[in-house]
Every structure is written in structure tokens, then in C-alpha cells.
Structure 1
């Protein structure tokens, strides 16, 4: 399948909301996202427009030839490090190479800065995928806020 990879714009807010809410309802969501569906569904139009506008961050989407969105990757800068968040592919778009294309867009957007992300200890498939892109463990981790006995491990990609 062929995708057009691009950043979302303010006018994409409704489609971004739809994709994010689908992500948060996916059975993998507890391992991949800390934002609860119940909180995201209550966000205002203005908040969704801000998320889509890319002023403080970037969200990359993969648009199929049909015009449907297959997935997304978010990124933001904090202390000269680009943090990748919100990586999600709709089930019918998994295994198509879309995730790799979206991650490449986020890494390119980083402009040579270090790129970091977190992966849940139970999400082995995602960990293997990120490692295939060159990400390596930093040694850092956080407790899963829903189950403090579980961890999310930080991975880093040095670019530039």
C-alpha cells in the first residue's frame, strides 16, 4: 500500500481526534498510551486544534490512496531532545511499512537532535520495531501509572 506522509494541520482536528480515540480504545492501548480514553473524549475542539496545528509539536499521519488515515506518530521537543509519542497504526495498516515511514518522518523532523521514546515492557513487538530503527535503551524507565509493578523503558536514537 502507498501512503502520503504529512504533518497534521489545524483543520485536521476532527480526523486526528477520531484516530486518537480509536487508538485509545484498541486492546493494545493499555500498553501503549497513558492518556485514558475518558480524558481524551472530553477534550475541547480548541485542544484538538492545538494538537493538530503543530505549533508546539508535530503529528505525522499516513494517508492511504483512498484518503483514509492509517496511522500516526507524534513528536515534541523538550530540552533539545525530540520525544516520540502516540505511535499508532490501525489494525488493517499494521505490517504495511507505514510505521517505519512515519517514524522516519518524525526522526527527520528532529533535525539531528536526539530522539527518545518509551516502550512498555509488555510491548515486545514495539520494542523490536524501535530497535530495528536504531533505538537503544538509555537505562531509564518509569512505572506504568495504571500498574506500578510494570515499567516503560526509555529508548534513544542519536542522530546527526
Structure 2
């Protein structure tokens, strides 16, 4: 299967909502999101339109040949680096290459700046994936706001 990576826009708010809610319900992927499902499901159209068209954060989506959204990556550009947030791939499309396409596009969006992200201590599969792409630990970590006994480790990608 082939995938297209593109930016989400305001008109995509319903599809973004559907994909985000799927991520928050996913038994593994929800670790990457600090937003509880119960809060996200209550958001209205305006909030979702705002998320889909936020000028400070780009949401890249992976779209299958049939138009189905199968994954997403948020790219938040800062002055000296880019932060990748909200990475999610629908379970049926994990291992197909779409995650790599999304992340390579996110890296390209950085325009040569460092790319940073955090990976939850219980998400070893994601950590291995990021390391294969060239991300390396920085040594920094942050507590999980839902459970301060757990942490998310920061990884960084620097262009060779």
C-alpha cells in the first residue's frame, strides 16, 4: 500500500477529531498523549478547526490510497528547534512504512533545525523506531503529568 503525507487544514477538523480520538483510545498509543479521551471528546467544532489549522503547529497526516487517514504527527516549530508531538499510527497500518514517511516529512519541515520529541518509558516500540531514524537520547526527561512516577525521555535528531 502507498501513502501520501499532507498537512491537515481547517476543513479536515472532523477527520482529525476521529483520528485523535482513536489515538486516545488506543491501548498503547494513548501513552504519547497527555490529553485524556474524556476531555477531547467534549471539544466542539471550533476547537477542532483551530487544532487543524493552528499557525504554530502543523499536523501532518498519512493518507491511504482510499483516502483514509491512517496516522498523524504534530510539528511545532520553535526558534532553534522543532518539536514533534502527537505521533499516532492506526494499528492496522503499523509496520507499513507510513510512520517513516510521516517522520521524514516532519524532519524535512524542520529545515535543518534539531528535531526533538519525547517517548514514554513504557513505549519501547516507539523508542526503537525513533532510534532507527537517527534520534538519540539527550539525557533529559519529564514526568508524566498523569503519573509523576513515570517519565518521558527526550530524543533529538540532528542532521548529519
| TM-score between both structures, scaled by the size of structure 2 | 0.95
Which consecutive aligned stretches of 4+ in structure 1 deviate over 2 angstroms post-superposition? none
Q: Distance in 2 between matches of 1:132 and 1:24?
A: 25
Quote how far apart the aligned CAs of 1:29 are: 3.6
Q: Distance in 2 between matches of 1:58 and 1:78?
A: 12
Aligned to 1:114: 114
For structure 2, the residue ranges without an aligned partner over 5 or more in a row are none
Quote how far apart the aligned CAs of 1:134 are: 0.6
Which deviates more from structure 2 when the two are superposed, residues 109-118 or residues 71-80? 71-80
The alignment yields a C-alpha RMSD, in angstroms, of: 1.2
Aligned to 1:105: 105
Quote how far apart the aligned CAs of 1:56 are: 1.4
Which deviates more from structure 2 when the two are superposed, residues 126-135 or residues 71-80? 71-80
| TM-score between both structures, scaled by the size of structure 1 | 0.95
Contact 1:7–1:54, Cα closer than 8 Å, also in 2: no
For structure 1, the residue ranges without an aligned partner over 5 or more in a row are none
Q: Distance in 1 between matches of 2:154 and 2:24?
A: 21
Give the length in aligned residue pairs.
160
Q: Distance in 1 between matches of 2:144 and 2:47?
A: 25
Contact 1:8–1:54, Cα closer than 8 Å, also in 2: no
